[in-house]
Amino acid sequence: MTAPPWPGGYRGRFPGWSSFLGRQAAPAGGRCWCAAASAAAPGPPPARALLSSARRPAGTRSAAGCGRRGKSRAKKRQRELKGLHWTTLYEQKKCTAAQAVKKIQSGDRVVVGHAVSEPARLIEAMTADAPRLRDVEVVHMIAMGDSPYCRPEMEGHFRHNALFVGANTRKAVEEGRADVTPVYFSEIPALLRGSLSPDVALVQLSPPDSHGYCSFGVAVDYTKPAAEAARVVLAQINPRMPRTLGDSFIHVSRLDAVVEADEPILELPPPAVGEVERAIGRHCASLIRDGDTLQLGIGAIPDAVLLFLKDKKDLGIHSEMFSDGVVELVEAGVITNARKNFHPGKSVVTFLMGTRRLYDYVHDNPEVEMYPVDYVNDPRVIAQNDNLVSINSCVQVDLMGQVVSTSVGLRQISGVGGQVDFVRGANMSRGGRSIMAMPSTAAHGAISKIVPLIDEGAAVTTSRYDVGYVVTEYGTAELRGKTLRQRARALIGIAHPDFRGGLREEYERRFRERF
C-alpha cells in the first residue's frame, strides 16, 4: 500500500466533514487515496474510519469495537494470534451448526445477516434449539428464507424485530408476534453500536484468503457492523459466496465459531416486465443523461428502466444494491463509471440480490467496491457524486406530493430501506434528480395510486419537501419547486384516465378554480 498524499498521513488531517467531504478534499482527478487503496488491501480503508469517527456521537462504540466490549475482543484476538497461524485458529473454531448455536443464550439479541446472505444452516440450527431458549430477540432486515423463528409455535422462544417487513415476516407482525423498528437503512449501524447492540451475529462469509480474511460477499450493509459490534460472531463459511472487495472483510480471529456449508447462495431471478413497467421505464430513462450516476432498486420497474438505457454512455453506479440488469449494461459498455467524480471507475454498493450470474460477476472484481451502509447510503456521501439519479418505487402519492412506500393504511408492508437516504442525497448532488416511479393503479385497476389525500394511518415515507419527479405509465410530473396547485395539476395529468375526473373535482374544491 502506498502512503497517503498528505504530509504525516491521514490521521488528524481532517477536522470534520466539511474538509473531508468537500470537493477540495480529493486530489486531482477527484479520487481520494483511500478509495484507490481499498481494492489493494483488505479491511476498512482510512476514509471509512474517518467517516465513522466524524459521525459517531460521544460516548458510543465505534464499528471497530471501541468501549469495553471492543477492547475485550481486541485483547482476545491478540492472545489468539500470539504464536498461532490463522489456519490453526480456523481449525480450532470449526464445529457443527448445532454446536455453534449453543453460544446463544436466553434473552440474547441476535442479528442475522441481510437478504441473500442470511446463513440458512445457522438459522435452522438456532430454531431447532428453541426448547432451550426463551425471549431471544432476532433482528433482521430483508428475510429471504423461511424465517422459521417467526412461526406461531416459536412464540416465547423467539421474537422477531423487523427492520423491513417482507412476505415471510408480515403475518407475524400483523398478529402481534413480531415488532417493527422504523429506521433509515443508513442509520442501522449506529443503532447496532448503541441501543440495538447485538449479543450474537449470525453471518455468512466467503472462505478466508491467504491472510485469514473472509469477505462478507453479497451483503456488507449492516451485516459487517453487526459482526463488529457483537459479543459473539457465528459464521457460516460458504465456498460459493463471492469474495467482494472494498470494506468487506473480517479476520478469522474475530469469529467465535466456524460452520462450513457448501450450498447455493439464495437467488432472486429477474421479475417479469409487463407493458406498464416498460412504459414507466421509458419515461424514467428520458430523465437520465450520459454520464449520470444511478441508484436503482430491485423489481420490475428498475429492470424496465435498465432496458431503455442501452443507448446511454458512461453511466455510473452508486447504489444501496443492484441486480443482474446492471451486469448486462456493464457488458454492453453502457455502465463504465468513467465520468464519476467520486470513486471513479468503481460501482459502489452495499448489498446485492440476483442470480449466480451477478455473484460470479462481482467475485474478486476490482471494479465493484462494497462498503457498510452508513457510508454508501449517507446522503452526504451520496451527494459527492455529481448528477446522481435515484429511482425508487412507491405505493401512493397524494396531490401535495406526499409519498407513501411502506404501508397501506395502518398495515405495514415493507420498510423505508434506502429510499429517503438516496432522495436526499440526489437532491444535494450537483445536477442530481430523484424519481418516484409507480403504476398508476393497483388491484387490477380498481384503485388509483394518485389520491387526493394519503390513506388514514399511512406513514409518509418521502415528504412533499423532498420529492422530485413522479413517473407513471402515463408520463412524468416534475414537482420540485412547484406550488401545490401546480403539483396537483401535474399529478392529475399522469393519473389513470378512469380516476382523473374525481381528482379534478378535488382540485376544484381545494383550490377554488376550474381545472
Q: Which residues are catalytic?
A: 320
Give the sign of the dihedral formed by CA 316, CA 319, CA 324, CA 325: negative
Residue 102 identity (one-letter amino acid): K
DSSP state of 15: -
End-to-end Cα spacing for the chain: 65
Taking residue 338's Cβ as centre, other Cβ atoms within 10 Å add up to 12
State how far the Cα of 2 lies from the Cα of 384, in Å rounded to an integer: 24
Only one residue has cell 460521544, namely 58
Q: Say which residues have a Cβ less than 8 Å from residue 220's Cβ, sequence separation at least 6.
A: 244, 246, 247, 248, 350, 351, 370, 371, 372, 373
User: Mind spelling out the 3-state secondary structure of 226-284?
Assistant: HHHHCCEEEEEECCCCCCCEECCEEEHHHCCEEEECCCCCCCCCCCCCCHHHHHHHHHH
Handedness of CA 353, 354, 358, 364 (dihedral sign): positive
Helix (H) or strand (E) holding 469: strand 469-472
Q: 45, 34 in Cβ contact below 8 A?
A: yes
Beta-sheet pairing, 213-215 with 249-251: antiparallel
Please check whether residue 434 is in contact with residue 427, taking contact to mean a CB–CB distance below 8 angstroms.
yes
SS3 content of the chain, % helix, strand, coil (to 5): 35, 20, 45
**DSSP result, 92-156:** HHB--HHHHGGG--TT-EEEE--GGG--HHHHHHHHHTGGG--SEEEEESS--S--GGGSGGGTT
Sequence-ordered list of residues with C-beta below 8 angstroms from that of 46, at least 6 positions apart, any chain: 4, 10, 33, 34, 37
Q: How far apart are CA 515 and CA 510, in angstroms?
A: 11
Alpha carbons 310 and 326: distance in angstroms, whole number: 11
Residue whose cell numbers read 486531482: 28
Region class of 220: left (phi > 0), else alpha (psi between -120 and 50), else beta: alpha
Question: 165, 180 in Cβ contact below 8 A?
Answer: yes
